[in-house]
Every structure is written in structure tokens, then in C-alpha cells.
Chain A
Amino acid sequence: MCHQTVSLVARHLEAHGIPTVIMGCAKDIVEHCGVPRFLWSDFPLGNSAGRPFDLESQVQTLELALRVLESAPAARTTVQSPLRWNADAAWKRDYLDLTKLSPEKIAERRKEFEVVKAVAKAKREGS
């Protein structure tokens, strides 16, 4: 949801004359929405600005985003960071992997999500 939110905001700012660049990890969500400029890091969600406790990675990620900001020739410019999270790409299989969930676990997750939705609704209505 975060990637969709910033995509919608970037579009609004850009439509009103403010150039933008998104630094993010969810390529499909951002490109499906359609944004002016996007620096994509093929990292687990939560690491849009670089690897944890890795100053060089964070500096390089910001620098690439700034270059995209100043040099993108047209809308829908995506640049992929050359950095890799891990030489082994196995981590990419795990996010919301249904094959690892038993029917009992799925039922449990459903109940948990009902609770999350209720908490979020109460917070939203109270704000």
C-alpha cells in the first residue's frame, strides 16, 4: 500500500509542477500506477533507501535517485539499482507464499486480518 500511496502523491505533485522521484522496492505496484521517475532497488520491502547499516549502499541509492531526478528524459522512467540484496535470490519466493500455509494457518491469518482491519477502522474513524 505504501508504494501505491507515494505513487499517487508523486503524480499529484508532478501534475502541479513539482518534479518527483520515488525510491522503492515494489516495481510492479509503482509501474502499474504509472509515475514520472522511479529508482527501483530489488530489495525486500522496507529497504527503499538502501541496505541496513550499510552506509555505502544508502549513499549510492540516494545518489542514483538524484540522478534519475535530474536526468529522466520522460515519464515512466525506471532505473534499477545495480545493488543486490543477496547473491541467492531465494528470498524472493517467500513474501506471502501461500504454498507454505496449511488450511489451519490460513484460517488463523484470516482471523488476524479481521482484527487488524477492525483496529485500523477504529483508528481511522477516531482521527
Chain B
Amino acid sequence: MTTAAPGAKAVFAVEHDTPIPYMQRTRDYYLALGFAAYRWAHFAAVPFTPLRTPLSRARVGLITTAAPYQPEVGDQGPGAPYNAAAKFYQVYSVSTESVPDVRISHVGYDRLHTSAADMNTYLPLARMKEAAAAGRIGALAPRLHGAPTNRSHRTTMETDAVELLHRSREDEIDAVVLVPS
């Protein structure tokens, strides 16, 4: 835990115990490999919509970047090497009444320090079902949606986000939890 216990002595953390600078590391890495620097999306203005319905009465959606398992495209299991063939490029939706088999071999998760062996680390569907059953949220949306991870900002903003908004409205949700892999 990072919360200090009452009365605990304050101790300096080691120098590298800071948020990992992923943008800088990615930039340096691909430059070293001989590729151009990627321009990460960056905005000065940020939209904000207050939650108008108490969560105990709200229908909450879930959006993931995990990919549906495709048996024909090779290893997608825990610790599998990066598998570009497992990528997807269209928004997909599956019923939240099911337990979908979604994997993350198509993205650059930390393969050295974790293995994606437990789907609940990147898809909190079971935990959200429990939250609905306990009344913490009013209901879980009938579908969860998959967002393609595209290098093109334009495709994400003008195609995929538009489709995800459309499907979210169809589901008549009050709020959304988004979980990157």
C-alpha cells in the first residue's frame, strides 16, 4: 500500500520509483530501431459530463481493448509473444451475460512482469457483475464493447469512437468504465 500508516516515519523513495515514462521510452525505443517518433494525442481542453444518476440506480457500460480469441491466428495465451494477427479493426460487442474469451496478445503489455493469465486483470466484467448484484451499481449494460487499438488518431476519433458512442446510446447507459489492456 502507498498510504502511510498514522505515525509512520517518512522515508524517501528510490529515484526510479515514479510513474513509468511510457511515451519517452517508446519514443527512444523506436528511434533506436530506426523508426520515426510517434506523436501521441494531446489536448488542452477536456470534456466533462457530471454523473446525473446515483450509481446505485445507474446502468454502467464496459469498454475494453482486449480482442476476441481467434483460434486460427496462433498463440494468444498467457505470456504469448506479441501477436499482430490477433488484432481487430472493427468495434465488436458481446453480451455481458456470457463470459467472453478475450485476450491481450495483440498489444504491448508488460510480458516480463505479468502474463495475462487472469482475464480479470484487464476485463473487470466479473467484478462489475458482482457490483450490480450487490447494488453498488444499478445494472450492468447488456453488452460490453471492444475498441480497436489503432495507431491512427483519426480512425479512433472519427470511426471507432463514433461507433462506440452509437452502441452505448443503444444500450441506454448512464456511464462507462473503460479499461485499456
State the A residues within 8 Å of B (CB).
1-29, 32-36, 40, 42-53, 58-59, 61-63, 65-66, 69-70, 74-76, 80, 82-85, 89-98, 101, 106, 109-110, 113, 116-117, 119-120, 123-124, 127
Choose from B48, B120, B179 the contact partner of A6 (Cβ within 8 Å).
Answer: B179
Q: Report the Cα distance A62→B131, complex, angstroms.
A: 9
Is A109 in contact with B107, judged by CB distance below 8 angstroms? no
Q: Does B139 contact A (CB under 8 A)?
A: no
Known A-B contacts A19-B175, A46-B110; the reply to A8 vs B87 at CB < 8 A is no
Choose from A2, A11, A127 the contact partner of B89 (Cβ within 8 Å).
Answer: A127
B43 surroundings in chain A (CB, below 8 A)? 11, 33-34
Instruction: Count A-B contacts at CB 8 Å.
Output: 279
Closest to A90 in B: B16
State the B residues within 8 Å of A (CB).
1-3, 13-14, 16-26, 28-30, 32-35, 40-52, 54-55, 63, 65, 82, 84-85, 87-90, 104, 107-110, 112-118, 120-124, 127-128, 130-131, 136-137, 147-151, 153, 156-157, 160-162, 164-165, 168-169, 173-181
A16 surroundings in chain B (CB, below 8 A)? 165
Choose from A49, A52, A90 the contact partner of B117 (Cβ within 8 Å).
Answer: A52
Is B161 in contact with A9, judged by CB distance below 8 angstroms? yes
11 extra interface residue pairs, beta carbon distance < 8 Å, beyond A25-B180, A26-B180:
A2-B107, A3-B180, A9-B156, A9-B178, A21-B176, A23-B179, A26-B20, A40-B19, A49-B121, A84-B1, A124-B87
- The smallest beta-carbon distance between B33 and chain A, in angstroms, is 4
Is A95 in contact with B20, judged by CB distance below 8 angstroms? yes
Q: Report the Cα distance A85→B181, complex, angstroms.
A: 16
What are 19 A-B contacts defined by CB distance under 8 Å? A4-B40, A9-B63, A11-B161, A12-B161, A12-B164, A16-B165, A18-B49, A18-B168, A27-B19, A27-B20, A36-B46, A46-B109, A47-B121, A49-B124, A49-B179, A62-B127, A70-B51, A82-B2, A84-B1
Is A28 in contact with B19, judged by CB distance below 8 angstroms? yes
